[in-house]
A and B are shown apart, each in its own frame.
Chain A
Amino acid sequence: MLLYEFEGKQLFKNCGINVPASQLLESPDEEIVIKPPLVLKAQVLSGKRAQAGGIVFDQNANLFGKVINGEKVEKVLVEERIEITREYYLSFSYSTETRGPVMTFGQGGSGVEEKRVKSFPIDTAHPEGVKALPARKLALQAGHLRGVGLPEQLVETGKQLWEVFIKYDCELAEINPLVVDKNGKVWALDSKVILDDDGDFRREIKFPERNLFGRPPTENEIEARIIDEGDHRGTAGSVYWDLDGDIAVIAAGGGGSIVNMDALLAFGGKPANYTEHSGNPPREKLEKLTKIVLSKPDLKGCWFVGGTANFTDIYETLMGFVEGLREIKPKPIYPIVIRRGGPRDKEAFAALKEIGKKEGFNFYIYGRETPMTSTAKIMMELAYGNISKR
């Protein structure tokens, strides 16, 4: 989960990092109590906020309701203005190259991609413990930035940011810019923190849900995410996004789902949603997910697709799908293409054929003998008529 600046700074403060005095405004009517000179900062999740007009130094400016990179501003952070003499970039993140945490430090400010920064791997199995390491590396790197002395407090901030990174299970903890003022005091002027969702169970602080599409989550998205809550048997709906198309998709497997979406798009299909289920979810979960996926109007088809499962009970998941399907009003008459393989698949297909005939569903059933991605084409032809021209 990506945090807003003010949320990240709260974590910084908790670990002793020096941040400017601030006030969070949630409406334009709130009175500013911080003494000028001030800076007003729109609280949005997208980067490049300054270039988009999201940071202003006029205390009478109104940022509320403004749209910054597609995101409507609903909160504004007011901060005392710090006089900058030097800017640094400092972050901790994980690197797939070193397969562990890395500290990145160097010249800061916007457009950091083009500036001089260097990454240092951190050995978490080091016998001395990692506490001392960032400081040493920081000092080393500072030596590379010519003509720059390194205030003691900068090293201290390195240690504190590492504490934020570990304590709150972050994927990224970034300060850019980390500045030194004319008195030599160090300040974190911005924050970018991405929390590791897999660490949620042990993090003391919880943050409200947000959406990366720059829009609030849809009703379907909220409902879908509730399915897995408190029930660890497999997953269904934890990942659900509404899209603009007309083919409802219920895909299986974290890997296979993406492969199939690639195939659907390659054949010119327009998915109405993205969702996946994996592990061995019970049938109730599939029933709930199906009801959400098929609740959208004007669908032209439904594609229930997955590879050859290792341990997902195909009978249970498909019967859950049928139970959801039965509750859709009006009754779906569009084609429903099913491609699946794995434990109890034959039993599932026999039952589906029976149900399709008896209850009048337009099932097209394929097992493991039919290539998974080829059913994308079948789905397209059935839904849109002859699409051989692509």
Chain B
Amino acid sequence: MAILVNDKTRVLIQGITGKEGSKVCLQMKNYATRVLAGVTPGKGGQEVHGVPVYNTVAQALENHPGINTSLISVPNFASFGAMKEAIESKIALINVFTEHVPIADTAKAIALAKQNGVRIVGPSSMGIISPGIGKVGQIGGEDPRGIFLRGSVGVISKSGGMASEVSWILTKNGIGQSTVVGIGGDVLVGSSFADLMEEFEKDEQTKAVIIFGEIGGTYEEEAADFIKSGKFTKKVVAFISGLFAQTLPQGTKLGHAGAIVYGEKGSYKSKIESLKEAGVTIAKTPDEIPSLLKFPS
């Protein structure tokens, strides 16, 4: 069945008339994802790759009540407004592709989403793909078929590039994926590893999960606690990057906004230790992940 993106997924693209918005629209349609409508304020009435454009989310929903997923691809200064509109319209899954969203805006959107009972994935999310079913966002680019393969391993990654790279390594070794999710590398994320593991636990198609984490924040530790609490019972293999960054002075920013370490908190050591304690298998390189996935056959 996969998680988040399935055959019932009906998508709205906020920012559909933009360069990335229109590109991703075509990519998703080519991957048999049903894109029902798009929104760009002031551009209502236009069409993008055959998809009707509306001025507001409310108008799009009025005309396409089946929409249950929104992809947000708008400039960062407009991202809070776009998220708020989608949340208040109670769209169940909101995938935020926009990068460089001010942390204050993300915090407000996360709180609002919680209040309204909807899920945010992102910001800075490369997207979500359930191979063979559909995709939301840029993940896999124009030709996901060459990278992803339908199967039973869930992938959750802070890095969009590494989500694809890890999936490709699995596919190369004949291991398919149920759903691959880029959660984004920001300090605050709408959906954490643990949030999605909860979904993967319920998903029958998924037999094991790979988490691709990096230094900074506490989402890896939270995932470890989630496993320790007994709420996740499937096999987990984790890869954590950022050992290199630890050799640099504290507070130095590299890569993702969330990949920042102050002292012990969020360090490589803290993550590896807590994951190991939870019984997670640690991969030293992305390439050894396939050999570490042992399925109870």
Contacts and interface: CB of A to CB of B under 8 A. Distances in A.
Partners in one complex: yes
A202 B239 CA distance: 36
Interface in B247-297: 247-249, 251-259, 266, 285-287
Contacts of A256: 159, 161-162, 165
Given A96-B217, A310-B139, A371-B287, A196 B255 contact: no
- Across chains A and B, which 4 residue pairs bring their CB atoms closest together, nearest first? A255-B159, A253-B161, A307-B165, A125-B111
Contact of A311 (B77, B138, B165, B242): B138
Interface of B: 23, 75-77, 99-104, 107-108, 110-112, 114-115, 126-127, 138-143, 147, 157-162, 164-165, 168-169, 172, 185, 187-189, 192, 212, 214, 217-219, 222, 239, 241-245, 247-249, 251-259, 266, 285-287
Interface stretch (A81-89, A258-266, A290-298, A348-356): A258-266
A232 B100 CA distance: 11
Given A2-B251, A341-B168, A196 B102 contact: yes
Interface residues of A, number: 59
Contacts of B169: 371
Contact of A261 (B100, B244, B285): B244
A258 B214 contact: yes
Contacts of A97: 218, 222
Contact of B108 (A124, A258, A311): A124
Interface in A276-310: 276, 278-279, 306-310
A120 interface: no
A198 B102 contact: yes
Given A258-B244, A342-B141, A196 B104 contact: yes
Which of A2, A232, A253 lies at the interface centre, i.e. has the most chain B CB atoms within 10 A of its CB? A253
A99 B77 contact: no
Nearest to A309: B161
B161 to A, nearest CB: 3
B249 A259 contact: no
Interface of A: 2, 94, 96-97, 99-101, 123-125, 166, 169, 171, 194, 196-199, 201-202, 212-214, 232, 239, 241, 252-259, 261-266, 274, 276, 278-279, 306-311, 341-343, 368-369, 371-374
B67 to A, nearest CB: 23
Contacts of A278: 161
B164 A307 contact: yes
A373 B147 contact: no
B134 to A, nearest CB: 16
Report which residue of B104, B138, B147, B185 has the largest number of chain A beta carbons within 10 angstroms of its beta carbon: B104
8 contacts: A99-B192, A212-B251, A255-B212, A255-B214, A257-B255, A265-B244, A372-B165, A374-B285
Given A100-B107, A169-B102, A310-B161, A258 B115 contact: no
A100 B110 contact: yes
Contact of A308 (B168, B219, B243, B255): B168
Contact of A343 (B112, B142, B161, B168): B142
A255 B251 CA distance: 17
Contacts of A169: 102-104
